[in-house]
Chain A
Amino acid sequence: MISRQEVEHVAKLARLHFDEEELARLQPELGQIIDYVRQLAELDLSGLEPTSHAVPLKNVLRPDEPVAGLSQAEATSNGPDVERGQFVVPRIG
């Protein structure tokens, strides 16, 4: 289960908004999924290391050599709002 309050908190963290109708559907759906995945929380896997890469690699590094990037026009060409080569963002906070 996941409480309504938790759903709203998580939505905030994720920068999402759900209206009443959506919340009414989402809360039980998330609850059902979380109840399902919770089966793992009950396993005793204390002897196992968590795996983030199933094919282990290490020390993959890049030489400190410059590579050509984008021009200002290319960099900003997808910007929804651009002013003097910079991305415009609304008032912060």
Chain B
Amino acid sequence: MDVTTLTAHRCRELLAAGEVSAVELTRAYLDRIAATDGAVQAYLAVDAAGAVAAAAAVDAKPRGERLPWEGVPIGLKDVLCVKGMETTCGSRILKGYIPPYDATVIAKLRDAGLIFLGKLNMDEFAMGSSTENSAFQTTRNPWDLDRVPGGSSGGSAACVAASEAPWALGTDTGGSIRQPASLCGVVGLKPTYGAVSRYGLVAFASSLDQIGSLTRDVRDAAALLDLIAGRDPRDSTSIGLPEPVGEPGRTSLEGLRFGVIGELIGDACEPGVREVFDSAVDAIGTLGGVCEEVSLPSVERGIAAYYLIAPSEASSNLARFDGVRYGHRTAESEDLYEMYVRTRSEGFGAEVKRRIMIGTYALSAGYYDAYYAQAQRTRTLIIQDFARAFAAFDFLISPTSPSVAFKIGERTADPLSMYLSDLCTIPVNLAALPGISIPAGFSAGLPVGLQIIGPHFSERGMLGAAHALEHHLRVNVMPPLAAPEAAR
């Protein structure tokens, strides 16, 4: 069967109607992966046997007794612990690590009957914006195989864009769902911090990490959010959603006010991206919404604050990779200190080491107040700026990424310039807000995403607005690679 036109909703309908069995559907995706992933390199591991077995178990159940999403396949970013399935976070240091437990989101999806196709590539420990920092492979952008898919959830975004899964889970610490979604032309949702449990998500920056989705459309994003959201007693910082987001059906933006964040549409933005963004602003007007520019001066400090907070937390979170209880251990060492140093120096890649160094430095004696504490105060400032803006606007918008997908290798030599490309997405994480990137158009044949930002726990309304815009823009199209002939 041709899976390239399928959303998760369409999979569900076909299963419910008995037009396809769960095994047939799963095999179709496995075939698709076999055909295209050699070029895309989205998957780190495909669990064909496990997926088919799980699908067969679904087929063995009478259709009337199945849960709504039972039998629908999904791809998983390799940062999520799945019991019995190798979880590496794209790092050599976790090569061979088999988690003895399921992440809460994984347990929820297991209970809902979803079929796990495999683990998706990512920047090592989610540190990066291009998926070039994976220790194992570089994922390609399905729209142009010479370009990056974005990152760190590059594998998840590319996999959905290439139809190697109807949908996928990703994680977003500074834009790691939204930016690759933008670069790959898919929908990327980062929920409010606390909406989804982080238990079993291998931590990068604990106060910023959030699990979300990469999907073909907004409806699927809403459905997947309802499957994974909820307060979790295993995550002290989880809250859940005030109510299920349900099915977004909105087609008009009548009565909604959108603030265009002035600081995020300036010089950093490529002209092609700016053009697409401006036409999206026009579309909002056409749909009855009101757009006005709003200034949030503090967001320009976002990157600096982020590159202190995230590495600081990461330097501590990644200290547990010490070669004692799991993961890589160096072959030979004289003593404990040497074992630690060799294990970690062999196991971590350059970007991870760089960030551990920044974080360790920022937290070390004498620097804490000037760096970490000051970054947390800047965060307060950013939160206040957003609160002021949301007093006047229902939602805020900006381009998701200031540029379209860049060439593989183009930015690896200059870490700081790579960091600066997260300008639009980072402030959203610092303020714990929900954000979504939807495809808004193309610049030189490459996808451009629009970011919609809502107040805390406004997912229902935000997805509604995104749905109306998506419905109007109709740019959720497949990359050339996805055409059936390319698959053969």
Contacts and interface: CB of A to CB of B under 8 A. Distances in A.
Do the two chains bind?
Answer: yes
Interface of A: 2, 6-7, 10-11, 13-18, 26, 29-30, 32-34, 36-37, 39-41, 43, 45, 48-55, 57, 60, 62, 70, 74-75, 77-81, 87, 89-93
Interface in B323-359: 323-329, 333-342, 344-345, 348, 353-354, 356-358
B415 A29 contact: yes
Given A30-B358, A34-B361, A40 B308 contact: yes
B354 A50 contact: no
A14 B360 contact: yes
A29 B354 CA distance: 8
B374 A90 contact: no
A7 to B, nearest CB: 7
Contact of A52 (B304, B376, B378, B419): B376
23 contacts: A10-B360, A11-B357, A16-B356, A29-B416, A30-B354, A30-B358, A37-B362, A43-B377, A45-B380, A45-B381, A48-B377, A50-B376, A50-B379, A51-B376, A52-B376, A53-B237, A55-B193, A60-B237, A74-B100, A78-B100, A80-B327, A90-B334, A90-B335
Q: Chain B interface: which size bin?
A: 35 or more
B237 A37 contact: no
B324 A89 contact: yes
A48 B361 contact: no
A91 B378 CA distance: 44
A41 B374 contact: yes
B interface SS class: helix
Given A10-B360, A29-B416, A54-B383, 16 more contacts: A2-B361, A17-B342, A33-B307, A34-B361, A36-B304, A41-B371, A43-B301, A45-B377, A53-B207, A54-B207, A55-B456, A70-B100, A78-B325, A78-B327, A93-B335, A93-B337
Contact of B415 (A33, A48, A51): A33
Contacts of A26: 353-354, 357
Given A57-B239, A74-B100, A92-B335, A49 B375 contact: no
B360 A40 contact: no
Contact of A77 (B100, B348, B419): B100
Given A26-B357, A34-B358, A89-B339, A13 B378 contact: no
Contact of A93 (B233, B336, B370, B380): B336
B236 A60 contact: yes
B329 A13 contact: no
B325 A51 contact: no
B98 A41 contact: no
Contacts of A29: 354, 415-416
Q: Which 6 A-B pairs have the closest CB atoms?
A: A50-B376, A54-B432, A78-B326, A80-B329, A45-B377, A15-B340
Given A16-B345, A78-B325, A43 B378 contact: yes
A48 B381 contact: yes
Given A41-B371, A55-B193, A55-B239, A80 B323 contact: yes
A8 B338 CA distance: 15
B357 A16 contact: yes
A17 B345 contact: yes
A61 B374 CA distance: 29
Nearest to A71: B100
B305 interface: yes
A25 B337 CA distance: 24
B364 interface: yes
Contacts of A41: 370-371, 374
Nearest to B337: A93
Contacts of A55: 192-194, 237, 239, 432, 456
